[in-house]
Amino acid sequence: MEPPSAPPRGGHVPWQELLLAVSLLTFWNPPTTAQLTVESVPPNAAEGKDVLLRVHNLPGDLLGCNWFRGETANTSHQILSYVVDTQVTTPGPAHSGRETIYPNGSLLFQRVTLNDTGNYTLQIVMKNAQVEQGTGEILVFSELPKPIITSNNSDPLENADPVVLTCEPQTQSTSYLWSVNRKSLPVSARLQLSLDNRTLTIHRVTRNDTGPYECGTQNPVSAGRSDPFTLNVLCLPVGSIIGIAVGVLVALALTVALGCLLLRTRIGRYDGISHTLILSCSRPLARRRPHTDQGFWTGYSRPPNYPLEFPVSFPLAPSSAAVDRGASFTCSLVIH
């Protein structure tokens, strides 16, 4: 076998010359024109900062360019036009005085506002009269203030009151995140978040729900966290609650009854009719009889010919309190 450098036979072209020809063709073949693109720098801008719409792949035979507000080249929304040869810039109807165009076609926005958010279209005209377009987008967000937590009830009663915590203020394009005791919220049927996570509802608050709670806010340009917020959950013993309720009801009943009797005594009238104070109770304070007993609690006022009767009926419902224990009940007062 002959080496590759051997002279050709039968009119064949040596492979070295063929490779050279292919290389030359590749070198002289003009590249495909890259597509015109527009990039926002930065991609997410804070309100009051500057934003540059940077142009990529601008052709060299450029005659001029035009910038428009929106996704189309509408002359009523034209911001600026620029002629390359004369370097003359002409403002359009949508020019606010804060926009500047550069020779490379890029457009600078100074002190952007939330209203500057949207799409912008670049139209370029080449010397061969060919026209191309590219679109870019500006996104502007507000710097978030420090959030605070508000509550509809800072002193809820345990196992009775719901509490609604709200992360303030409400802002657009903002994510809300809650934590308790520096940890994520636990999974619980008593904890309910609103659709936007801005409101946290705690149903049937307990002494373990005191907190502290924190809410965090975040958008593409800033973030914030509230100060800790602690609930003051009121925890009263069951016996104390029952005692207070019973004391108030009994005192009210006796006060009304004795007041009526004293009034009759003072005016010196007695019609011979027995006056009875009926205090009906669904659950007794103390019982020393079997649960099927019925009877009266009887007392007397002065003078002794005015009996006060307290009919109390039993039995209790199966779900009522155990014997000889205090329980919550309701009383109604009727004077005959």
Domains and CATH numbers, the chain: 37-141 (2.60.40.10), 148-225 (2.60.40.10), 238-335 (no CATH)
Residue range 98-114: mean pLDDT, rounded: 96
> Which of 95, 134, 136, 96 has the alpha carbon at shortest distance from 119?
136
Q: Which pLDDT score, from 0 to 100, does residue 121 have?
A: 97
Range with lowest mean pLDDT among 31-40, 65-74, 154-163, 169-178? 31-40
CA distances, 23 to each of 17, 18, 27, 28, 288 (Å): 10, 9, 6, 9, 115
Sheet holding 183-184, edge to edge: 183-184, 175-180, 213-219, 222-225
pLDDT digits (tens, 9 = 90+) for 170-210: 998 999 999 999 999 999 999 999 999 999 999 999 999 99
Q: How far is CA 64 from CA 80, 103, 116, 121, in A?
A: 11, 9, 24, 14
Between CA 313 and CA 287 the distance in angstroms is 11
**Res. 169: pLDDT tops 60:** yes
pLDDT on residue 242: 58
Residue with tokens 């002279």: 7
Indicate the burial class of 88 (C-beta count within 10 angstroms; 0-12, 13-18, 19 or more): exposed
The yes-or-no verdict on residue 241 having pLDDT over 60 is no
Instruction: Supply the pLDDT for residue 260.
Output: 56
Q: How many CB atoms lie within 10 A of CB 336?
A: 9
Q: What is the pTM of this model?
A: 0.58
CA distance 304 to 279: 20
Percent of the residues in the chain that have a pLDDT greater than 70, as a whole number: 60
123, two tokens: 């139209």
Amino acid at 176: Y
Q: Residue ranges of the alpha helices (H) in the chain?
A: 15-28, 238-266
> What average pLDDT score do residues 48-75 get?
95
